[in-house]
Structure 1
Amino acid sequence: MNNKNISFMTQAAMIAAIYVVLTYFFAPFSFGEVQVRIAEALTILPLFTPAAIPGLFVGCLIGNILGGAILPDIIFGSLATLIGAVFTRRLQNNNKFLAPLPPIAANTIIVPFVLRFGYGVALPVPLMMLTVGIGEIVSCGVLGMVLYFALNKYKNMVFKPCY
């Protein structure tokens, strides 16, 4: 195993660990039909490193398991975060303000169906799309961009190339 692989795995593991800690620590408002998952601010990280893609997926997966989520939520909620991370990475050479859109869109579309059909939440899916979407705008759009500007100053020191 070479240094690039070790760097990639280390970055992915650290991102996953931070995602899990944030999800678990802020669990009271990380789950449900009205949620602001603070850990979703990390979905901006694929702009800095490709290791964020598996890191976010694994972090969301473990966070959902530890948070007591049901199997459809564990699977589809984690896939929503993965989809958001992949498409955020694809936007890395575009306008940085577009970067939060993929995770916002993926979670706004997928999570309400998990809430409705997995958890049996009786609210209309469009209403839950609104509530989940607002939470995603806060976590990915607002907090994610705050994180972006904070990290962008130090990106060469924090995120060593691993690809």
Structure 2
Amino acid sequence: MENFSSRRITRIGLIAAMYAVMTIAIAPIAYGSVQFRVSEALMLLCFYNRDHIASLSIGCFIANMFSTIGIIDTIVGTSATVAAGICIYLFRKEGSSTRLLLCSLFPVIFNALFVGAEITILSKEPISFFMTAASIALGELICVTVIGTTLFKILERNKAIMTAITEKY
């Protein structure tokens, strides 16, 4: 059984809070059929440490409590985050820049499918699943693949930061 030290729980809580605050702070563009969640760049933390799957899932759950879609988003949106986080962690390969870029596509795909379907089904207006999924995918692509991978490639140059991100307990 894994050890859940106070330091580990604190780190999980801090990352969850960062995700939630970053999302809620930009609420007008973080929810709906056009989403631009800069906080999604944090999904790439899962590439370095599996604890971040829990962190980001909790953060997403909290942020989605404020969603314009309603409480159902806490289930659907968080499920997309859990699925993407697990895939990022499972498909990572240490020291591979190409792998980080490929793993950044998991949040794009899962959010486009899960959240795109959710919005299409719950919308009172006739909207196309493909248009909704495409707009969500575009926002995710910009936030995770462009901004996130660029950010983490820069962070990888700093040994102290990478030690903090990858620290195992």
Report how far residue 37 of structure 1 moved: 1.0
Q: State which of 113, 120, 144 in structure 2 corresponds to 1:116.
A: 120
Percent identity over the alignment is 25
Report how far residue 32 of structure 1 moved: 1.0
Report how far residue 4 of structure 1 moved: 6.0
Query: Which shifted more, 136-145 or 115-124?
Result: 115-124
Deviations 1:57-84 (A, max 9, x none): 0000000113454122111011101111
What secondary structure sits across from 2:65 in the alignment?
helix
The residue that corresponds to 1:105 in the other structure is 109
Aligned Cα RMSD in Å? 1.9
Q: Distance in 1 between matches of 2:115 and 2:92?
A: 25
The residue that corresponds to 1:6 in the other structure is 6
Report how far residue 3 of structure 1 moved: 7.3
Q: Distance in 2 between matches of 1:125 and 1:43?
A: 24
Please say if 1:151 is aligned against 2:155. Answer: yes
Report how far residue 119 of structure 1 moved: 3.6
Deviations 1:24-62 (A, max 9, x none): 111111011111111111110011211110000000000
Amino acid of the structure 1 residue aligned with 2:168: C
Query: Which shifted more, 144-153 or 39-48?
Result: 144-153
Calculate the TM-score normalised by the size of structure 2. Answer: 0.87
Amino acid of the structure 2 residue aligned with 1:101: L
Please say if 1:84 is aligned against 2:84. Answer: yes
What secondary structure sits across from 1:66 in the alignment?
coil
Calculate the TM-score normalised by the size of structure 1. Answer: 0.90
The residue that corresponds to 2:59 in the other structure is 59
What secondary structure sits across from 1:159 in the alignment?
helix
Question: Which 5+ residue runs of structure 1 have no aligned equivalent?
Answer: none
Q: Say whether the 8 Å CA contact 1:72–1:118 is kept in structure 2.
A: no
Q: Say whether the 8 Å CA contact 1:43–1:85 is kept in structure 2.
A: yes
What secondary structure sits across from 1:114 in the alignment?
helix
Aligned length: 162
The residue that corresponds to 2:35 in the other structure is 35
Amino acid of the structure 2 residue aligned with 1:116: T
